[in-house]
Structure 1
Amino acid sequence: MERKSPDGTGPVHVPFGHVVANEKWRGSQLAQGMQGKINLVFEEDLTPVDFYLSNRSCILYITEADLVAGNGYRKRLVRVRNSSHLQGIVVVEKTQMTEQYFSAIQKFTVLDLGMVLLPVASQMEASCLIVQLVQEQTKEVSKNPLLRKKRALFSEPSLLRTVQQIPGVGKVKAPLLLQKFPSIYQLSNASIQELEPIVGQTVAQQIHAFFTQSR
């Protein structure tokens, strides 16, 4: 296995169908949910990354405790975002306790850093999500072995879930928006006039306010 660089954000070669997990997750509900469904290997000193997937993708897992403790998690996200080697996916526990903190981490992760954010209700749900991502990635590559660094492996489902979190959007309007604006960057720069034909005037104003007030 190819070793990572000293700062923890260098390349780690992971075969398709495998996940390399930070040793701290051994014995956790999150790891137990993945075992038997994919090949899980534990390694020490993977900080700031929690899980390495194939194709130089990685997952940073933000727990309920991380959110309640403050903004300490932001340094990890920034380190991975600044790495040219990795495509970071942020999985965050969105529970009743962390509901009040979710908007802040969503804006920081998606708008400020441009990273993918996937909310989960529990570690068990997160394990199912990671397994699904690995299986989708493996299936996609098996169809086209020439695919390399293809962000679309994660962009469509993750973007969909992220856009659904915007006030007034929901599950119906999110796919319509992504057909016209296929990235967060394009959606965040869309004018009210461009948004109105898709979602109506009220929701268009809500979307525009969501992005402009976050800047």
Structure 2
Amino acid sequence: MAAGASVRAGVAGVPYGHVVGSEKWRGSRLARGLQGPVRLILEEDLALVDFHLPHGTCILYVSEADVVAGNGFRRRLAQFRSASNLNGIVMVERTTTSDQYFPAMQNFVVLELGMTLLPVANQEEASQLIIQLVHEQSKDRTSNPFLRKQCSQLTHASILRTVQQIPGVGKTKALLLLQRFGSIHQLCNASVQELEQVVGQTVAQQIYAFFTQTN
């Protein structure tokens, strides 16, 4: 099956309160944590995706071992982004071992791929976040906008930390930038003149240079 088709497998018709997961998760702590609060259905050949949620949301899970091992996970995430327009959420295990690699991964996922990043301590925490997403989706069955709202609530601290990594940007400026531009995507595309209105000329040039070099 082609990568694009595999990415989309199982997405259509995932009922509310259900999660379709890859067979490779059978018996894992993450799968056990999902059973009960939601109905987990395991299927083979979900390819790049670990879990499908209602509303066409996908979870791609990156373990501590994946992060430490190198760039294999980057290829998988890039393939997903190029093969699909689905709502992809990347869950990554942020531990004492993987923490040193986290800033680079955060830049890659959020800034380069434009995907939502949720750091988790372990599979148990990941299962609770997935359950929260599914239950919130079930409360609003009429439209997708909820999803962006919920994800923004879950990832606000993570996105704020990402913006603070830009040279010259502290917490206050990061908050002002996100308030003005609304998302990292819009911030990436902002002109120097637009940035100057929020943070002044010097920092605006630093931000513009940062995104230009990243891209």
TM bucket by the smaller chain? 0.7 to 0.9
Q: Does 1:165 align with 2:161?
A: yes
Deviation at 1:128, TM superposition (A): 1.0
Pairs within 5 Å for 1:1-215: 7-11=5-9, 12=11, 13-141=13-141, 145=142, 147-148=143-144, 152-166=148-162, 167=164, 169=170, 176-190=176-190, 191=192, 192-196=195-199, 211-215=211-215
8 Å contact kept, 1:10–1:85? no
Opposite residue 196 of structure 2, the aligned amino acid is Q
8 Å contact kept, 1:159–1:184? no
Superposition CA RMSD, Å: 2.8
Q: Whole-Å Cα distance in 2 between the matches of residues 209 and 120 of structure 1?
A: 31
- Measured at CA, do residues 154 and 80 of structure 1 come closer, stay the same or move farther in structure 2, by a change above 3 Å? farther
SS in 1 for 2:119: strand
8 Å contact kept, 1:18–1:41? yes
8 Å contact kept, 1:118–1:161? no
Deviation at 1:42, TM superposition (A): 0.9
Q: Whole-Å Cα distance in 1 between the matches of residues 52 and 111 of structure 2?
A: 23
Q: Whole-Å Cα distance in 2 between the matches of residues 59 and 36 of structure 1?
A: 19
8 Å contact kept, 1:9–1:79? no
Q: Whole-Å Cα distance in 1 between the matches of residues 46 and 21 of structure 2?
A: 8
- Measured at CA, do residues 5 and 77 of structure 1 come closer, stay the same or move farther in structure 2, by a change above 3 Å? closer
Q: Whole-Å Cα distance in 1 between the matches of residues 174 and 19 of structure 2?
A: 30
Question: Normalising to structure 2: TM-score of the pair?
Answer: 0.80
- Measured at CA, do residues 66 and 37 of structure 1 come closer, stay the same or move farther in structure 2, by a change above 3 Å? same
Q: Unmatched 5+ residue regions in structure 2? A: none
8 Å contact kept, 2:23–2:42? yes
Post-superposition CA distance 1:113-171 (Å, at most 9, x none): 11111111111111111111111111122xxx2x157652544225513322223655x
- The number of residue pairs the alignment matches comes to 203
Deviation at 1:18, TM superposition (A): 0.7
Opposite residue 195 of structure 1, the aligned amino acid is V
8 Å contact kept, 1:116–1:158? no
SS in 1 for 2:6: coil
Post-superposition CA distance 1:163-185 (Å, at most 9, x none): 22223655x77655433211212
Question: Normalising to structure 1: TM-score of the pair?
Answer: 0.80
- Measured at CA, do residues 83 and 33 of structure 1 come closer, stay the same or move farther in structure 2, by a change above 3 Å? same
Post-superposition CA distance 1:62-92 (Å, at most 9, x none): 0001111111112221222123452111111
Would you tell me which structure has more helix in proportion to its own residues? 2
Q: Unmatched 5+ residue regions in structure 1? A: none
Opposite residue 156 of structure 2, the aligned amino acid is L
Q: Whole-Å Cα distance in 2 between the matches of residues 138 and 173 of structure 1?
A: 36
Identity %: 50
8 Å contact kept, 1:160–1:175? no
8 Å contact kept, 2:37–2:131? yes
SS in 2 for 1:82: helix
